[in-house]
Structure 1
Amino acid sequence: MSDIMRPIPFGELMNWVLEEHRTQGTIFGVSELYHHTSGKTLPIFTEQVETPFGPAAGPHTQLAQNLIAAYVGGSRFFEVKTVQIIDGEDLPVSKPCIRAEDECYNVEWSTELRVPQAYEEYVKAWFAIKLLAKSMGFGSPDGFVFNMSVGYDLAGIQSEKVDKYIEGMKDASASAVWAECTAWAKENLDRLPGVDAAYIDAINPHICTSITLSTLHGCPPDEIERIATYLITEKKLNTYIKCNPTLLGYEFARKTMDDMGYDYIVFDDHHFKADLQFADAIPMFRRLLALCEANGVEFGVKLTNTFPVTIAAGELPGEEMYMSGKSLYPLSISLAERVEKEFDGKLRVSYSGGADQYNIADIFACGVWPITMATTLLKPGGYNRLRPIADILTNMEYKAFDGVDVEALSALAAKAKTDVHHVKPVKPLPSRKMKKDVPLIDCFTAPCAEQCPIHQDIPEYLRLVGEGRYEEALRVICEKNPLPFITGTICSHTCMSKCTRNFYEESVHIRAAKLEAAENGFASFAKSLKAGAPCGANVAVVGGGPAGMAAAHLLARGGAKVTVFEKRGSLGGIVKHVIPAFRISDEAIANDASMLEALGVTVKLNTEVADARALLAEGYTHVIVANGAWEHGALHLEGDAALNVIEFLEKQKNAPETLNLGKNVVVIGGGNTAMDAARAAKRAQGVEHVRLVYRRTKRYMPADAEELELAIADGVEFCDLMAPKALHGGVLTCEVMELGAPDASGRRSPQPTGRTVELPADTVISAIGEKVDTAYFVKNGVTVDERGRAVTNEACKSAGVYVIGDARRGPATVVEAIADAAAAARDILGAGEAVHFALNAAPAELKARRAQLRGYLDAKTEASRCLGCETVCENCVDVCPNRANIAVRVPGLDKEQIVHVDKMCNECGNCAVFCPYASAPYKDKFTLFASEADMADSTNAGFCVLDAAAGRVKVRLGQEEYETILADDTRTYAPLKALMETVLRDYAYCL
């Protein structure tokens, strides 16, 4: 495929808009259409805006369809993408060029079109919006403003090409593209209700009365001032100067990033030294402000440009990239504060830098506007995120600019540095990707359920919980998960790491919803539990921890006779006897255990089975070993010995009076068990300080983020970058470590420094990992791997017995234990997979949720935050600025299908970031090509239309290419054939 975008002629552009709106109710995929009905406007320059925000100069203002999509979403101020003398294919842009997974990075800066093409796109968009505002009632035709952006030096701006662009944006009436738009509109008045020829003739051709100067890093102050002077005095344009965050100084930027958790972002001070200095900027702004007053135009500053950082972990191709979004916000708003203090709030600021639904009201309330944004629109929801922002702003007081509230701005700048929406989490984000490739058809899936080891039907039980149908929700849960209380309380919930809501604010609280279902639906659900019809299996389960309990439940429900042998006095294993009571109650464990009694399972407590295989000679048809991982991991310290974490936790939970920890406790380790130990020690009698020693930083600890944060909240003192060496007389000696350079994955390995520190340590607890009882397996003839774990087949079977849970995996999670139990139970029962409960929710309702961040969502329940990805995903549709991925409703198929439109794609790569599959939709989804030549330039599976009327197409699937007439085609996979027929019939405007 080619990364060259093909601008759409005006007639085809308008036909697309009108036909899509007529047939689908959307415009370029935007479903949350905004109509400005309040009549409120704000004056800016000599114009008016209905809403004081819109897309920044960037990926959302490059093509006409981008600008139209932004307008119908609610934008009314558009900073069109920057043009410069180097343009088109002469401007090298590495691809992919955007990565907006959390904070955003990009390696592109100016339009990828030729300057004349860019000009035509902006004129087409302007004219189209004028027509749509009038004919569809989106608002006043004079209620929006275009602002042009140019760079990067005076010679380039004065060149014939750029000068013609500027003059054309000031007055487009004499241009060929204006004539093209006018002619089409007059020829299609019947399709434009409320529009007549007189209205068309009266459309204002003065597209821009304002300009934003964008200069490269390192541009000298005198050059910036010369350019601005030229634009003000010669072009008579209202002028904004775009400033770089480097004005804040290296020390401020580095400290802010470090304090907010962005210490991994690599940059040095060279841009700070080479860029415009604050001491030079302020006098320049004063001179330019006076110059504008003398020339009858307005002056302001654009805050801010993106922030240059080093590509250290292969995030994008190249050596340097530009940071924006949530991490840029504290820098941009701080620079706004510093500048406004110099001008007593009298300087106009056009703001950009991490604005979104969470902070835009605060920014606007300070008197800082217009506000432009890019990063939030590059995330799922895309242009649909504009509608709620428009609603927020239009519900606020509108008043003409009379200055900035500097005190409020200072408070906002201070708040930004601790705002949860902008501070980086302690732990790095886990990958949101599934380990599977995207299919050509029916790619919608629930990533949460895919990630779950037992593939819980999460969207459906969330819906049922939200509707208060707890027993039904619990029935859905227990179909695959027989431990709803335990998993509802302490599950590691990796499902939540894959939740698409993470790209909005935070995951749906899936685990909490499970517990809500269990607590409210258990009494009635338990009454319905009964064993299945006898199947002839008589199964012995050795070990009554979560794995054994789960296996017993599933087997009994399937009709097996089950006996559980547990060497301790109660069921629950590690969860019951080791995990602290402040994490899970005995009642929760007992509830899950009680279901075994209802299912007729025999439980033999205080019974140790030394020889599991011997049970096969006692009448049992199958034996499952689920004896956990209770063996101690070894910590080698010089001097005194450390207390093992399992021994400590078991005593602390069951016999705390036997422990005398002293005042100072040190826990060595960085996993979840270490966090449990540290938190438990904090609660022990007489303990004053609990320190956790780990050889890396918190960011690289294996503990779940939630467990880490709870330990921090409990007051555990973290001693990062320390490797324990010796323990003598209550003093732990540690070697100080330092993190080395990032490797290709961005991970930094600890390196010894040779320095040591001493920590007071009345008790040292070793939490460096537990092990399985390898000797037990060897005794029973079970093969073990190099780590002493049982080697089994996919059904968890080895040497005539089944081995599940920690006994098979080593220390693992409860839900992984359940997955093993289910595999063994299926094999024993000869059963298929558990029943799948598909989400029963309306697609339209789910799509509406995709526009809303949590703070502005009427989220009465977690269910109302669930996006129902199994029914409606469309991340790739949402996040494409150019609208190059479309959702197609195919008769006969349950879900909308994704088609990639090759001619509109510039391979920015953003859809690849947000697709839940390990795939890139722009390469891997079924592609519509504009021509055979475009198809030949690509390896994508897809088709091009050879004769639309005859239904003749050329198809590529795998290595095969062939021509076919769809009506007679028997060769193509039927759903793909139906997809192509639908595009030709119902989406012909895309061709």
Structure 2
Amino acid sequence: MSTKGTHIPDWLTVPFAGITPAPSQEKGQDLFPTGNWRSIRPVYRDKLPPCNNACGTNEKIQGYLDLVKRGKYLDAYALIKEDMPFPSVTGRVCYHPCEQACNRGQYDEAISIRAVERFLGDLGQALARDVVKPGKPNGKKVAVVGSGPAGHSAAYQLARLGYKVTILEKSPKAGGLNRGGIPDWVLPQRVLDREIERLVELGVTIKTNVEVGKDVTWDGLKKNYDACVLAVGLTEPNSVRAEGENKDGVLYGLPFLRDIGMGTSKVKLGARVAVIGGGNTAIDCAREALRQGAVEVTMITVESNPEEMPCVPEDLHDMLEEGVELLHGRAMTAVLGNGRVEALQLYRARFSGAINASPITVNRGAPAERFAVDNVIIAVGQHASLTWLPKEFKNERGTINVDRFGRLGDTNFFAAGDIVQWGSGQPLMVVNAVGDGKRVAFNLDKVLRGEPLEPRKVPVDVIMDLNRMNMTYFPHFPRVRQAMLPPVSRRKTQGEVIQPFTEQQAVEEASRCFSCGTCNACDNCYLVCPEPCIVRSARSNGLYKILVNYCKGCRVCIEECPTGCLEGVPELDFDTGVVRMDTAFAISPGLHGRQAQELLNLGSRPAKEI
């Protein structure tokens, strides 16, 4: 029977005869704390996405991908600039270890993170004013020796911390390896120039044609600056110790690229060029040789097949597309010719142990091969030039001896980049040098402020198992491909080979991100909760709240969380957040209500007599 429209006399309105009106939701949770039924509590606990963890400078990759897919490009650019001073550079040259770690690679194809970073970097280059500002001046001066990736990064972070920074660069132009080791068709000079302008806008002074040990001494650095960062890199090319290596027409990889990058090259290559080496610099030299007029370019490697070569696979693919030939399992033992290279003497060779990490065994019992060339470019790595460095700070690897914080003994000198990482097992990459420069800058700041240097003690939970996420919510989508210049036409141009993403492509690619282990405000938990136990003030990471007095621990939100940021924690791990009651209706200890401390002592109680 319906009572709709019926007038209820005052003496019959509730409460009467012990009847009370239904409470509001808020009052109801106070009166009936059904959270006491719970044995598992859902907790928002962000993990570390594998891309962030693999990045040498620990960029917040998931964060800026999430912002890009929401169209918040300036926010994304500002986020990346916290860790990376020049995203327009790394967006072109980085070997993207983040993509190799990307969980999407287990599912279909890894996200093209580098391309999105380039999109943001180019956006930043177009801004009249950068989003980064110098810190409040603290009256202290720091010298940074070297303007490559590590030096640039250290100077950038120190300027943000309020230091007066001076970069000392021995070349006529700033940029270090970024300018002298990376060809224009990968990193145009104008892009690097703009990033260096940004550094100057932060108040950093750059002095070129200043060489440590010649124009400035170790003692001079100690006297004139409160601290110093040594980021001098590996500047001297390695020899293969072949007979006749000093003949005309023999070139070395890094100087070959550096002279072209600095605009000082006078080399005229012949039609036939051989490149000795199988790494990334060797690939750049081979491709640059085509652009400098060579007709036939052959890369000669000790490695027995392409899979063993210590280079980025896609760069190798692009090189082969351009027509460079590969000759495997050979070592150059002599340069033949009358004063000028005419041919190379090659023998069969292999590594005696681990590939690229053991001595080379040359099979001189087999007949030698004669390989005709007009030029040979030797690109088998570099070493440091540290004649100016006090002996106590040199190590057996020929690099700078530092502690785990990048510090030289108890001095105010720090070192970063390839000059520290070479031979340590750390891959020599631009992004690793940038990360090294950033960490050293923060450590230097602590020392000058009198704070102790301590290793990070916070445990890191990297989410790498797809089973920790709900993959039902992620349909398969192919990776967005970057357009490239045709192989035939790009052989003769310095134009960028890899083309940038459009805005639509950047958003589409960023939208493929799983946000591994990190809340991306998908609202699933908010929508699927069968009770009103999850509230939020806005749809944003960090603003979701579990009403613990009411949540029954049904786990629906945990199971339906796509990213794995929600996890179930045993209720007895908590001693706050819910009113616990003793109740006769508990079917097992703790299920809804015995005191946590009482249950912890349960094992020490004597057995009951039955």
Q: Normalising by the residue count of structure 2, what TM-score does the alignment of the two structures yield? A: 0.66
Q: Spell out the pairing of 1:359-758 with structure 2 (5 A cutoff).
A: 444-524=47-127, 526-610=129-213, 611=216, 613-641=218-246, 642-655=250-263, 658-685=266-293, 687-696=294-303, 697-729=305-337, 730-737=342-349, 752=363, 754-758=366-370
Q: Distance in 2 between the 1:524 and 1:558 partners?
A: 23
Deviations along 1:819-878, whole A, 9 cap, x unmatched? 121122112222999xx9x99xxxxx98555331427999752111111113279xxxxx
Q: How far apart, CA to CA, are the structure 2 residues paired with 1:528 and 1:473?
A: 11
Other structure's SS at 1:591 match: helix
Contact 2:59 2:80 in 1 (8 A): yes
Secondary structure (helix, strand or coil) at the match of 2:369 reads: strand
Q: Deviations over 1:603-646 (max 9, x none)?
A: 22222232553244544110111111101212111234342112
Contact 1:541 1:562 in 2 (8 A): yes
Taking the aligned partners of 1:654 and 1:797, their CA distance within structure 2 comes to: 32
Q: Compared with structure 1, are the counterparts of its residues 684 and 442 closer, same or farther at alpha carbon in structure 2 (3 Å cutoff)?
A: same
The aligned residue for residue 566 of structure 2 is: 896
Residues 856-911 of structure 1, C-alpha deviation per residue, up to 9 Å, x if partnerless?
999752111111113279xxxxxxxxxxxx987469x9933389xxxxxxxxxxxx
What letter corresponds to residue 151 of structure 2 in structure 1?
G
Distance 2:130 2:263 in 1: 36
| Unaligned residue ranges in structure 1 (runs of 5+) | 1-439, 840-844, 874-885, 900-925, 927-947, 954-963, 974-991
Partners of 2:479 and 2:237 lie apart in 1 by 46
CA contact (8 A) 2:46 2:518 kept: no
- Structure 1 residues 802-825: Cα deviation after superposition (integer angstroms, max 9, x where no partner): 111122223822211111211221
Is contact 2:217-2:388 (8 Å) kept?
no
Using a 3 Å threshold, how does the CA distance of structure 1 residues 619 and 785 change in structure 2: closer, same or farther?
closer
Unaligned 5+ segments in structure 2 are: 1-42, 464-468, 482-503, 521-553, 571-584, 601-610
- Give 3-state SS (helix, strand or coil) of 1:786's partner: coil
Instruction: Give the structure with the larger helix fraction.
Output: 1
Match 2:405 to one of 788, 792, 795: 795
Matches within 5 A, 1:7-406: none
**1:816 counterpart SS class:** helix
In structure 2, do the counterparts of structure 1 residues 614 and 495 end up closer, same or farther at CA, with 3 Å as the change threshold? same
Partners of 2:180 and 2:260 within 8 A in 1: no
Matches within 5 A, 1:836-851: 847=471, 850-851=474-475
Aligned CA distance change for structure 1 residues 720 and 441 (closer, same or farther; 3 Å):
farther
Q: Distance in 2 between matches of 1:603 and 1:738?
A: 45
Contact 1:722–1:734 (8 Å) recurs in 2: yes
Pick closer, same or farther for the CA change 1:738–1:815 going to 2, 3 Å: closer
Once residues 188 and 567 of structure 2 are traced to their aligned partners in structure 1, the CA distance between those partners, rounded to angstroms, is 46
Distance in 1 (alpha carbons) for counterparts of 2:101 and 2:598: 37
| Whole-angstrom CA distance in 2 between matches of 1:717 and 1:477 | 39
Query: Structure 1 CA distance, aligned partners of 2:200 and 2:351?
Result: 53
Cα shift at 1:527 = 4.1
Tell me the distance in 1 between the aligned counterparts of 2:211 and 2:229.
14
Aligned to 2:395: 785
**2: distance between equivalents of 1:972 and 1:820?**
49
Whether the 8 Å CA contact 1:466–1:863 is kept in 2: the answer is: yes
- In structure 2, how many angstroms separate the alpha carbons of the residues matched to 1:620 and 1:855? 49
Q: CA deviation at 1:591?
A: 2.0
Question: Following the alignment from structure 1 to structure 2, what is the Cα–Cα distance between the partners of residues 510 and 579?
Answer: 20
Q: Which whole-Å CA distance do the structure 2 matches of 1:475 and 1:673 have between them?
A: 32
Distance 1:487 1:570 in 2: 19
Aligned letter for 1:896? Answer: L
Residue 771 of structure 1 deviates from its aligned partner by 0.7
Give me the whole-angstrom Cα distance separating, in 1, the residues matched to 2:362 and 2:323: 28
Change (3 A) 1:441 1:634: farther
Asked if structure 1 preserves the Cα contact closer than 8 Å seen for 2:149 and 2:430, the reply is yes
Kept after mapping to 2: 8 A contact 1:615/1:623: no
User: In percent, how many aligned pairs have the same letter?
Assistant: 29
**Alpha-carbon offset, residue 968 of structure 1:** 3.0
Q: Distance in 2 between matches of 1:794 and 1:513?
A: 32
1:864 aligns with 2:511: yes
In structure 2, the partner of 1:770 is 382
Q: CA 1:768–1:534 in 2, change beyond 3 Å: closer, same or farther?
A: same
**2:406–2:415: 8 Å Cα contact kept in structure 1?**
yes
Q: CA RMSD in A?
A: 3.9
The code of the aligned residue for 2:271 comes to: K
Change (3 A) 1:815 1:739: closer
Q: What code does the residue aligned with 1:757 have?
A: E
Residues 218-269 of structure 1: CA deviation (Å, up to 9, x unaligned):
xxxxxxxxxxxxxxxxxxxxxxxxxxxxxxxxxxxxxxxxxxxxxxxxxxxx
Q: Is the 8 A contact 2:330 2:349 kept in 1?
A: yes
CA contact (8 A) 2:124 2:130 kept: no
Q: Kindly tell me: are residues 888 and 769 of structure 1, through their superposed partners in 2, closer, same or farther at Cα, counting changes over 3 Å?
A: farther
Instruction: Give, as a single letter, the amino acid of the residue that structure 2 aligns with 1:546.
Output: P
SS in 2 for 1:774: coil
Retained in 2: the 8 A contact 1:537–1:560? Answer: yes
Letter in 2 for 1:828: L
Amino acid at match of 1:764: V
Q: SS of the counterpart of 2:282? A: helix
Q: 1:735 to 1:651 in 2, by over 3 A?
A: same
Three-state SS of the structure 1 residue aligned to 2:515 is coil
Partner of 1:852: 476
Point out the more displaced range, 810-819 or 550-559.
810-819
Q: Structure 2 counterpart of 1:862, which letter? A: E
Letter in 1 for 2:326: F
Distance 2:99 2:189 in 1: 25
* Pairs aligned (count): 450
Please state if 1:813 is matched with 2:429.
yes
For the residue of structure 1 that corresponds to 2:565, the secondary structure is coil
3-state SS of paired residue (1:526): coil
1:760 to 348, 353, 372: 372
Q: Which amino acid aligns with 2:140?
A: A
Equivalent AA in structure 1 for residue 476 of structure 2? Q
Kindly indicate whether the alpha-carbon contact (under 8 Å) linking 2:586 and 2:593 is maintained by their aligned counterparts in 1: no
Give the CA deviation at 1:550.
1.1
Distance in 2 (CA, whole Å) between partners of 1:737 and 1:806 is 29
Does structure 2 retain, via aligned residues, the 8 Å contact 1:622–1:828?
yes
Q: Which moved more, 1:562-571 or 1:526-535?
A: 526-535
Q: Deviations over 1:176-233 (max 9, x none)?
A: xxxxxxxxxxxxxxxxxxxxxxxxxxxxxxxxxxxxxxxxxxxxxxxxxxxxxxxxxx
Query: Deviation per CA, 1:642-670, whole angstroms, max 9, x where unpaired?
Result: 42112222234445762132111111111
Residue 127 (structure 1) aligns with: none
Preserved CA contact (<8 Å) 2:269 2:375: yes
Other structure's SS at 1:828 match: helix
Counterpart of 1:819, as a letter, is: G
Aligned AA for 2:345?
T
SS of the equivalent of 2:366 reads strand
Higher relative contact order structure (alpha carbons within 8 Å, sequence separation ≥ 6): 2
Segment drifting more, 591-600 vs 612-621 = 612-621
